[in-house]
Amino acid sequence: MNLEKLVAISGRSGIFKMAANRQNGLIVQDLDNGKKFFAPSRKHQFTPLESISIYTNDQESTAELKHVFNSMLEQLESNPPVAVKSNSNEIKHYFTQILPDFDQDKVLVSDIKKLIKWFNFLNERQLLKPLVEAAVLEEEE
């Protein structure tokens, strides 16, 4: 699962692929239509998905987003993601099954909702591959 070039942009829904880095912003590519556009850093904040981690109860540890997505992907059949409009208890219960040791004080329901939205967005476009399969593909390249 390669999240290296994927970014979330404040003020825009969805996930985008970084095409180029400029001094005053990013040139990003829309994953649906492939069109590229400039997103200025004065107007937007950029969050590379690769840099996101989820707090866990272990004091010194976090879980990388790619491992959380992998767990969601593995449980897709038996434990599909809950609707983002579900109540807080349902969302927390779902995420407890995905990442049992996540820190419930630091990880907000809004964070989990965003994570579920990103997962659904990427999964609908078949951009998520299990970590084992991704490792094999990287070795072949």
What residues form DSSP beta bridges with 20? 27
pLDDT tens track for 117-135: 999 999 999 888 876 555 4
Cβ-based neighbour number of residue 138 at 10 Å: 9
- Could you tell me which of 67, 68, 91, 76 has the C-alpha nearest to residue 126? 76
CB 95 within 8 A of CB 65: no
Q: What is the pLDDT of residues 13-60, one digit of tens each?
A: 899 999 999 999 999 999 999 999 999 999 999 999 999 999 999 878
| 65-113 per-position pLDDT tens digit | 999 999 999 999 999 999 999 999 999 999 999 999 999 999 999 999 9
For tokens 């094999």, the residue is 136
